[in-house]
Amino acid sequence: MMAMIGGRHRRWGSDFGGDGPQWGGRHRHGPGGRGRVFGGGELRLFLLSLLADQPRHGYELIKAIEELTGGNYAPSPGVVYPTLNLLTDEDLIAEQAGEGARKAYAATEAGRAEIASRREEIETITSRLRGLADDHDRHGAPPLRRAMGNLFTAVRQRAASGDFDRDTMLAVADILDEAARKIERL
C-alpha cells in the first residue's frame, strides 16, 4: 500500500523523512553522509579508547559500539579482530588473562599515551556515533511508525471484515482527512 508522504509516494512502513538512513542494513551513514561509519584509522583509535576504559573481548567491543549507536551500527568481527591484532602488534594493547577461549584486551601505557594525545578526535568520533542513535530517533520516528502501523492494521482489518461498504469507506476517509488537517495545524 502506498501513502503520500512529503510529496512523494512511499510504501507503508518505509522510513520517514526521506533523507534519513536506510534502516534495513547494519551500516548506516558516517563521516561523508551515507556509507562508512568510521573514517581511516578511526575504528583503531576508538577501539583503543574503549580498551583504556576497561579490558574487553572483541565481542564486547562490537556490542559497546552497537549500544552507543542505539543499535544502528555494529562493526563486523571481520574488521574488529584484525584491528585488535594491529593494535597488539603496535604494543598499544595487550592480551589479558581471561576465562575460556575469548581473549580480553586492555590498553598499554603506550596506548593510554596515544589516547591522551588524541582525546579531541575520540570525543568527535564518540559524538558522531551517539548521533547515529539520535538520527534514528529523529528520522525513524518510532512513535510515528508505531501509530502508522496501528492505523494501517486497523484499516486493513476493517476492510477485510467483509462489512466495508461505501459508507464505511467514506467514514474512514473522513476520519483520516480530519487527522491530516489536525497534523497540518500543529
Domains of the chain, residue spans: 29-140, 142-185
Q: What pLDDT, on a 0 to 100 scale, did the predictor assign at position 180?
A: 85
Q: What pLDDT, on a 0 to 100 scale, did the predictor assign at position 141?
A: 59
Assigned CATH for 29-140: 1.10.10.10
Q: What pLDDT, on a 0 to 100 scale, did the predictor assign at position 29?
A: 43
Confidence at 97, pLDDT banded by 50, 70, 90: confident
Q: What pLDDT, on a 0 to 100 scale, did the predictor assign at position 57?
A: 92
Span 98-109, average pLDDT: 85
Q: What pLDDT, on a 0 to 100 scale, did the predictor assign at position 148?
A: 77
Counting beta carbons within 10 angstroms of the beta carbon of residue 83, is it exposed (0 to 12), middle (13 to 18) or buried (19 or more)? buried
pLDDT in tens, 117-141: 999 999 999 999 988 877 655 555 5
pLDDT in tens, 36-76: 889 889 999 999 999 999 999 999 999 999 989 888 888 99
Q: What pLDDT, on a 0 to 100 scale, did the predictor assign at position 100?
A: 72
Distance CA 34, CA 73 (A): 12
Helix extents (H) in 22-141: 42-53, 58-68, 77-89, 109-117, 119-140
pTM listed for this prediction: 0.58
- CB within 8 Å of 8: residues ≥ 6 apart: 18
Can you give the C-alpha Rg of the chain in angstroms? 24
Q: What pLDDT, on a 0 to 100 scale, did the predictor assign at position 138?
A: 57
Query: Cell 533523507, residue?
Result: 19
Q: Which 8-state DSSP code applies to residue 1?
A: -
Q: Name the residue type at position 121.
A: E
User: Does 163 or 110 have the greater pLDDT score?
Assistant: 110
Span 86-115, average pLDDT: 91
Counting beta carbons within 10 angstroms of the beta carbon of residue 94, is it exposed (0 to 12), middle (13 to 18) or buried (19 or more)? middle
pLDDT in tens, 143-186: 666 677 778 888 888 888 888 888 888 888 899 888 888 888 88
**How many residues comprise the chain?**
186
The H or E element containing residue 144 is helix 142-160
Closest CA to 130 of 59, 61, 73: 73
Counting beta carbons within 10 angstroms of the beta carbon of residue 185, is it exposed (0 to 12), middle (13 to 18) or buried (19 or more)? exposed
Span 81-102, average pLDDT: 90
